[in-house]
Amino acid sequence: MPEETSTRAGEAATPHGAAASRPEPIHLRAGGVSLVLDVGGPRLPSVLHWGCDLGELPPEQLRELALATVPAVVSGGTDAPGTLSVLAEHGTGWPGLPGLRGHRAGTAWSPLFTMTSARADGEQVRVEAVDEAAGLELTLWIALDVTGLVTMRAAVRNRHPAEPYVLDGLVLNLPVPAEAAELLDLTGRHLRERSPQRQPFTQGSRVRENRRGRTGSDASLLLAAGAPGFGFRSGEVWAVHVGWSGNHVTYAERLPDGRAVIGGGELLLPGEVRLEPGTEYTTPWLYAAYGQGLDTISERFHRHLRARPGHPAAPRPVVMNTWEAVYFDHDLPKLCALADRAAKVGAERFVLDDGWFRHRRDDHAGLGDWYVDEAVWPQGLHPLVDHVRALGMQFGLWVEPEMINPDSDLARAHPEWIMSTGGRMPPEQRYQQVLDLVHPEAYAYVLERLDRLIGEYGIDYLKWDHNRDLVDAGHSPHGEAAVHRQTLAVYRMLDELRRRHPGLEIESCSSGGARVDLGILQRTDRVWGSDCIDALERQSIQRWTQLLLPPELIGSHVGAAHAHTTGRRHDLAFRAGTALFGHFGIEWDLISASAAEQEELARWITLYKDVRGLLHTGRIVRADHPDPALWLHGVVAEDGSEAVFALVAVATSATAPPGRVRLPGLDPDAVYRVRPLPPGDVAAGVNHVPPAWLLGGELVLPGSVLDRVGIQVPDLFPEHLLLLRLTRE
């Protein structure tokens, strides 16, 4: 890999068989992936290959690869084959979505950059380019980390001495081959986040624009293109994720000439980014993963996240959250009794949810008044905090710093701090509006209040909520669009609180799971998967959230037998067995729970503490079972020494018994002992007689047999599960 290569405008391509005069293509290899960049210029780099590892290729073979991938000239096209860069340019003849969109008072709307340098430094390539006519400079960063994950971003700078440049959009892309003929992304809604949807990847554009001002319950999360029918364990897949918590776009395009790309970036509202002379805009990171099956895609993201310096290192503590236990009924004796029960069953962190601050007896008032309500807490929160700490638990607190109720002291004092486009208020959502943190005074007020609360009570954990979309999100007094600056202000505040309080952990909650992305996770320690803790719904929500995030970053709680959000009823084994495969918690009025229920819950918490070291470091695996009523997922240790699987009946199977299920991801050469895992071995969920091996209590088989042949599963009642523990002999 060359340390640095430079190109000059107008440099000609080397004829086939001639001595090399162009800079060599750059070949990045890691984690079973190759990324080959043509940096020969004069145009921006193009991707010659992104996919399976090509092995070591000498320079002459890289040059031949560049020649082999030059598009043909066809009738109706440009006279010379156009290049497609990671930042697509209209000026090259690309008829799809341009990577850079903007103008200078109606001019400079079709920039065409000339590359001035391309430097490879370890795993990262830095490219500099300029468009003299448009008065713009461009920097691209393209990297392939040790996990095989591609990371990309760009910065555009206005080099004109006097005129501003209005930026309308800057998105990046990567090419995918013709074999990527099917698309998968996610959608959803409040209480049903991250629902998968598939469609053929045909000619034309599929564009997912999110204008909610936050990631969104209906966010695509990942946009994946793959071989038709690709699953968790099979089929080539290419996928992208935009690491940004505000408005964003993901897209897939296929042209009539067969070229296809997937990509994304921030979605900019009109006039939102205006580059004055000498200023620049930098995109959020675009993440891209290739693999055989979706499990490989997940593995790359999970390893990338786990390698971060700030990734939670301590065992993820069992959380007791008060929301579905007491809602707004904040009564000190009851909360202390709840803490007693939580500590008894094994909770390690107690989180006081919404309702502790001034005027907050319901969700109609008080947001913005971040002072402990003296009427409810005459001694402040100290009595509860002291009680919780005496029980050996950490103390956490719910906040919603980006929001404001019109019925609040803050709104009455500073109505100009409410985001709006001017002349009208946006429609209320949950009786609230958005606090404009772009105002320095509003930002300073919220930062001071949170800093003071954390310091006074020694708060270990903030559940940071965000319960509405940003609609008409303008900055006063003129009402210009401000989602971009609001998102950056939130990031800045989170970073500053973490700097001031190094041990503080923060959860990203947003109407449940509406802010799940790698931008917010650069500065938070977990996400709240969904406001719905119905175990059946959570099976799906967690299954697809784990496409991007490992289990330790997804809050998953055991609720009451009667689910508050759906009305369903589930036994404790199904609720706890579902929560086990996340960051385990409780959101249940344990005072009303029977002694038997508390004892069973304590056994589940003991199991969680026993296996969380495996669950939060191992590889997520999911079986591609043909029966949609039967799901199997699990975690296999990195060294293949052990595994925990959950066999889940999400509905009634069309066949009885349902047949065999394969256990994927094991070491094929190892021999495993397979046992039911208590308390997830309860026979109450088994219809009629269990299969012979389960009656016998265990199996001993090679990993290859368990993966390729599988085991007979019991005929489970719907909405029940069975846990299995595997240990290598």
For the record, the structure tokens of 695 come out as 């009656």
For the record, the structure tokens of 77 come out as 């096209």
The kind and range of the H/E element at 289 are: strand 285-292
Question: CB–CB of 635/581 below 8 Å?
Answer: yes
For the record, the structure tokens of 725 come out as 């523990």
Strand partners, 398: 463
Specify the amino acid at residue 605. I
For the record, the structure tokens of 724 come out as 């299995």
Report d(CA 546, CA 616) in Å as an integer. 12
Report d(CA 496, CA 492) in Å as an integer. 6
Backbone angles phi, psi at 36, to 5 degrees: -115, 125
For the record, the structure tokens of 648 come out as 């889940």
Report d(CA 202, CA 258) in Å as an integer. 10
Task: Tell me 569's DSSP state.
Answer: B
The phi-psi region of residue 216 (left if phi > 0; otherwise alpha if psi is between -120 and 50; otherwise beta) is left
Closest Cα partner for 114 from 171, 40, 220?
A: 40
Half-sphere exposure of 280 (CA within 13 A, CB side): 12
* Angle between helix 572-579 and helix 535-545 axes, rounded to 10 deg: 20
Q: Measured in whole angstroms, how far is the alpha carbon of residue 438 from the centre of its chain?
A: 25
| Signed CA dihedral, 347, 349, 354, 360: sign only | positive
Report d(CA 228, CA 234) in Å as an integer. 10
For the record, the structure tokens of 439 come out as 């105002």
Choosing from 131, 531, 534, 715, the catalytic residue is 531
Those residues whose C-beta lies under 8 Å from the C-beta of residue 444, and which sit 6 or more positions away, are: none
Report d(CA 55, CA 52) in Å as an integer. 9
Which residue has 């290959």 as its token pair? 49
Cis previous bond, 679, omega within 30: yes
Choosing from 373, 465, 469, 667, the catalytic residue is 465
The phi-psi region of residue 65 (left if phi > 0; otherwise alpha if psi is between -120 and 50; otherwise beta) is alpha
The phi-psi region of residue 392 (left if phi > 0; otherwise alpha if psi is between -120 and 50; otherwise beta) is left
Tell how strand 349-352 and strand 319-321 pair up.
Answer: parallel
State yes or no: is 386 an active-site residue.
Answer: no
State yes or no: is 639 an active-site residue.
Answer: no
Strand partners, 127: 118, 140
Q: Give the residue numbers marked as catalytic.
A: 465, 531
